[in-house]
Copies of this chain bind each other. A is one copy, B any other.
Amino acid sequence: MIKPRTPPGVMELLPREQIAFQRMLDTIRRNYERFGFLPVETPVFELSETLLTKSGGETERQVYFVQSTGALAKEGEGLPELALRFDLTVPLARYVAEHEHELTFPFRRYQIQRVYRGERAQRGRFREFYQCDIDVIGKDALSVRFDAEILAVIHAVFSDLGIGDFTIQLNNRKLMRGFFEAQGVTDGEQQALVLREVDKLDKRGADYVRETLTGEGFGMAADAVERILDFVAVRSTDHADALAKLDALGQGGETFNQGIAELREVLELVKALGVPESAYCLNFSIARGLDYYTGTVYETQLDGYPQIGSICSGGRYDDLASHYTKSKLPGVGISIGLTRLFWQLREAGLIAGSDESSVQALVALMDETQLADSLDIARRLRAAGINTEVQMESRKLARQFQYASRAGIRFVVLAGEDELARGVVTVKDLVREQQFEVKREELASSLKVELEQARALAGR
């Protein structure tokens, strides 16, 4: 006998939670599709040579290799041929390069699949997790207008998810680079080091950061450090303030000015796209992966739960697939790590787990002889699009109600001898805690009305 257990570092859900998780996946997908993004799925494994193109990044050290029984027998001949994807970006690069001549650019794709990282086992760290990505890929060039559209998608997704107020924080890597260069920090790596210190502001305070940057290792001038601390402290409060904050930056070098112009265009279009001002702001401390992003960068925070960190991040990059094609493929995209987000929301008590089931009606069975009637009632409900379970063996009615209630099934449909004789059924609505009688042939349409009302109320 083997003890049944999952490997460590995976999130496996019970059905009620899985339904809640699936609703979130569906919501994300619905919004991605609503903005015209097309679905792509790639294999869970890629050739190792495809995945391991960069040298020695953290994620690459965490790769899982895959070997068939046969390949395992022939070990000792270098790296295994296959490995599990550790993100959806490398597969996207490979996909776009491979199918370049069959795709239309700008290419907008969404991809919602799981990825794999051999992380150290730790609470809240997952070795298998969902990423929900969108990217727009251009050929040779891609208008900054898409950066605004991506922000509108983030807004649509999180409004629809209904997990609380959130703020999409915007910055621009060109602006940052231009600014740091003006402070004498011209080297990209040095900028990264400085930003890493600046990131400690919240935890260690301004004095600590000041000391470090003017200290031996960095040796920066005190006034340059002050200007940097002022710069990264910039947050806009509303749309007009965001534009004013950009104006206040004045003029600088070419890169600096370009960053400002891009941010301004993004802000303008975001407004034209109808995103409410409260949903976005400038935050000049947002940097993201410095060696990857080259323009707009986004982070998204739940206003009530800043400790969760960014729940949706991304940005603009210059060239997606330089390892696989000579074509220049600039892009902009974002990613939602849904497994981790779900876990955090659950930890914060924001996943009720008492959500309604995907099953909407239970046809109870009061007497074995009425099974054929139950099946017929269920058939009609299903034909009308109502997810329906039939009680296949009769048990005490109280237990059938208890089951429906625990399972989150809203309607219990009863058709006893008396009801069948009168051509009606009794419906017990466990949400409204009401009971009503309806003609058998009107049952489906009457439940549909109730369910559509509930959907409309929930804004779905």
Contact = CB atoms under 8 A, between A and B. Distances in A.
B4 A94 contact: yes
B68 A4 contact: no
B44 A15 contact: no
A387 B34 contact: yes
Contacts of A98: 4-6
Contacts of A46: 6-7
Contact of A35 (B69, B326, B388, B407): B388
A229 interface: no
A95 B12 contact: yes
A49 B2 contact: yes
A85 to B, nearest CB: 11
Contact of A104 (B94, B116, B324, B407): B407
A272 B371 contact: yes
Given A40-B15, A81-B7, A385 B272 contact: no
A303 to B, nearest CB: 23
A120 to B, nearest CB: 10
Contact of A371 (B104, B114, B145): B145
A143 B392 contact: yes
A83 B31 CA distance: 34
Interface stretch (A58-66, A250-258, A418-426, A432-440): A58-66
A7 B38 contact: no
Interface string A61-85: 1111111111010011001111010
A340 interface: no
A273 interface: yes
A149 B388 contact: no
Given A50-B2, A272-B371, A36 B389 contact: yes
A10 interface: yes
Contacts of A410: none
User: Interface size for chain A: under 10, 10 to 19, 20 to 34, or 35 or more residues?
Assistant: 35 or more
A359 B3 CA distance: 47
Nearest to A93: B4
Q: Which among A4, A15, A390 has the greatest number of chain B C-beta atoms within 10 A?
A: A4
A294 interface: no
Interface stretch (A204-212, A278-286, A375-383): A375-383
A33 interface: yes
B67 A65 contact: yes
Q: Which among A5, A82, A108 has the greatest number of chain B C-beta atoms within 10 A?
A: A5
Nearest to A361: B36
Contact of A3 (B34, B35, B324): B324
A348 interface: no
A387 B5 contact: no
A301 to B, nearest CB: 24
Given A4-B321, A102-B14, A38 B376 contact: no
Interface in A380-427: 382, 385-390, 392-393, 403, 406-407
Contacts of A382: 34-35, 156
A406 B102 CA distance: 12
A9 to B, nearest CB: 9
A358 B42 contact: no
Contact of A128 (B15, B44, B50, B321): B44
A35 B385 CA distance: 10
A366 to B, nearest CB: 16
Given A18-B38, A65-B69, A99-B14, A4 B50 contact: yes
Interface of A: 1-7, 10, 12-15, 18-19, 22, 33-36, 38-47, 49-50, 53, 61-70, 72, 75-76, 79-82, 84, 93-95, 97-99, 102-104, 106, 108-109, 114, 116, 118, 128, 143, 145-146, 149, 152, 156, 269, 272-274, 321, 323-326, 357-359, 362, 371-372, 375-376, 378-379, 382, 385-390, 392-393, 403, 406-407
8 contacts: A3-B324, A5-B47, A14-B99, A44-B84, A65-B72, A72-B79, A272-B371, A273-B378
Given A14-B103, A15-B109, A272-B375, 5 more contacts: A12-B95, A15-B103, A18-B38, A22-B39, A274-B376
